[in-house]
Structures are given as structure tokens and as C-alpha cells.
Amino acid sequence: QVQLVESGGGLVQAGGSLRLSCAASGRAFSRYSMEWFRQAPGKEREFVAAIIGSAGITYYASSVKSRFTISRDNTKNTVFLQMNTLKPEDTAVYYCAAVPDQLITTPAQVDYWGQGTQVTVSS
């Protein structure tokens, strides 16, 4: 079992930055791939970024590539999402996810979810 708790969301103006954190409890954190998804009002949950457990390889949705950076600190069981140059279309609830050591971009295949943190970008 893995429990995930996100923090760091908030209200920011377009062009600004936010850093989300996700603290994980449970064993073998380093063996999990950690991912971020987001869900905007009226839209389906979508993949944002992932960092593969053992290799630390990162993947990004095209809409956030070059603006967002995912990283992890295995000593603190924490994954981060640094979001720069935010746009109003980035407004969503952001969810942390843990999956076995692979890349998963389909929400239905995710094993563990956090409760989500709201990010609102004003124009």
C-alpha cells in the first residue's frame, strides 16, 4: 500500500510559478514510478509528467514540456512538480500517482492516487 499526500497548490497569475510536492508513505518508494495527472472542470483526467523509479527517466505531456519539471527525492519519499510559465489552461486539480516501475499515462491503470491539490492560474 502507498499513501500519497499532495501540497503546494494555489492561485497564481499567468507567467508565474508553483511547486507541487507529493509525500509518499509505504515501502519501496524508489521502486515506484511517480506521476502527476491533472483534471480541469468538465474534462477527463490527463497525464502530465512521470519519473520512472529506478532509472529516474522523465516523461512529459507535450502541453507542459519545457515548462514543467518532475523530480524526486528518494531519501524523503517525495516527488515534486516545478511548474513555470503557467498559463490559464493549466488550471486544474493536480493529482499525484504511484505505479509499478513503468510509464503509465492512462488514469484507469494507476494503482494509487493522492487526494489532489488545486492549481488556479489567472489571466
pLDDT score recorded for residue 30: 83
Rounded to whole angstroms, what are the CA distances from 32 to 10, 27, 56, 83?
27, 10, 10, 22
pLDDT score recorded for residue 122: 97
Rounded to whole angstroms, what are the CA distances from 120 to 12, 19, 70?
6, 13, 19
pLDDT score recorded for residue 54: 67
pLDDT score recorded for residue 86: 98
pLDDT score recorded for residue 28: 82
Q: What is the pLDDT along the chain (123 residues), one digit of tens a residue?
A: 899 999 999 999 999 999 999 999 987 888 899 999 999 999 999 999 999 976 789 999 999 999 999 999 989 999 999 999 999 999 999 999 999 888 999 999 998 999 999 999 999
Nearest to 98 by CA among 17, 25, 40: 25
d(CA 118, CA 93) in angstroms, rounded, equals 4
* φ, ψ for residue 76, nearest 5 deg: -115, 5
pLDDT score recorded for residue 89: 97
